[in-house]
Structure 1
């Protein structure tokens, strides 16, 4: 079956979630620097990264199909928690998240014919208190090393999540309902 669009992402989690929409797509893998600009708000940052990835993917796409891309960040006390830079940094992140709430922002962007439309989903996630030993074991599992905020809700990190208000799939990396609506509103999927 011919693809309807491209996904500009190396994330296996995004691919798995997007496959749940049961629409054919192919991958394109642009290289976009993920660096926050001075004075850039968390909302502006995550939306810009999604747009940049979609537009860079469109420039690489072998066929003139729409390109979908996304980015996910974790925000606590107004600070963006990127991927951990090592064990000490990862454990410091987990300490900040322990026993409290934070926001997970996922932006999706669709680029086609020189246009780019997007959607932003913010979900409130509350962690139960964690012990130092739990945090150390979790870090040593290897799971948090490449994840925004230093955890993965869909894996071992899910056991620390006491509550979410919003979209579970957005926390994983692709808001299903909103992404499907974006694809429909831009004419990629039929109603």
Structure 2
């Protein structure tokens, strides 16, 4: 059974490797804005699950088109932060990241990660499962100098919510209420359950 991670996230890859799985990485390259536009007033949970499904499905289709043989399981994920009535993804610019941190400091928000699993037998999708995981994150208050240094590192620009738990941003997280691995980008407990739904024991994937 080949495990395929449909994500370019080094954090998700690191979580899986630390948990005994060394996946093949295939980046889907989907147009996330186009996928989101197909939904009519989705909840944050529905949005991240749909994006995760689109990523996993795109990679499954690529493998099928390449004449894939044998069995594979493809896992796609997508994360967003729900804070102060707004759902946000990657800030992309220092100014947006700074504005978010000035609002988030000393408060809490909910990091929502959608997960989708597709099981392939040869080039045929035989089973699929999807769900989301929500975890409350509590932030501290970085000083002006600390925030400037964090923004200068570039790390918060390319991650959902403008922070990480497993990187430099971890210095400014007071705690999490829920699943830490989901905040990093892929929930191990939820992924295990979804794998079971498509007939795969996670222990059989350990390398």
- Whether TM-score is above 0.5 comes out as yes
Q: State the superposition RMSD in angstroms.
A: 1.8
Q: In structure 2, do the counterparts of structure 1 residues 190 and 30 end up closer, same or farther at CA, with 3 Å as the change threshold?
A: closer
Alpha-carbon distance in structure 1 between the residues aligned to 2:48 and 2:193? 19
Q: In structure 2, do the counterparts of structure 1 residues 149 and 10 end up closer, same or farther at CA, with 3 Å as the change threshold?
A: same
Map of 1:1-191 to 2, 5 A cutoff? 3-23=1-21, 25-35=23-33, 36-37=36-37, 39-61=41-63, 62=66, 63=68, 65-112=72-119, 113=125, 115-189=127-201
Q: In structure 2, do the counterparts of structure 1 residues 6 and 133 end up closer, same or farther at CA, with 3 Å as the change threshold?
A: same
Aligned length: 189
Alpha-carbon distance in structure 1 between the residues aligned to 2:159 and 2:126? 31
The 8 Å contact of residues 152 and 158 in structure 1, kept in 2 or not, is answered as yes
Alpha-carbon distance in structure 2 between the residues aligned to 1:85 and 1:164? 24
Cα distance, 1:135 vs structure 2: 1.5
SS of the residue corresponding to residue 151 of structure 2 reads helix
The worse-fitting range, judged by mean Cα deviation, of 26-35 and 70-79 is 26-35
Q: Which runs of 4+ in 1 moved over 4 A?
A: none
- What TM-score do you get using the length of structure 2 for normalisation? 0.84
User: Structure 2, unaligned stretches of length 5 or more?
Assistant: 120-124
SS of the residue corresponding to residue 74 of structure 1 reads strand
- What TM-score do you get using the length of structure 1 for normalisation? 0.90
Alpha-carbon distance in structure 1 between the residues aligned to 2:200 and 2:80? 26
Alpha-carbon distance in structure 2 between the residues aligned to 1:147 and 1:107? 15
- Structure richer in helix, relative to its length: 2
The worse-fitting range, judged by mean Cα deviation, of 45-54 and 80-89 is 80-89
Alpha-carbon deviations, 1:132-162, whole Å to 9, x = none?
3322121012211211111111111111111
SS of the residue corresponding to residue 183 of structure 2 reads helix
Q: In structure 2, do the counterparts of structure 1 residues 114 and 52 end up closer, same or farther at CA, with 3 Å as the change threshold?
A: farther
Alpha-carbon distance in structure 1 between the residues aligned to 2:22 and 2:85? 38
Cα distance, 1:190 vs structure 2: 6.1
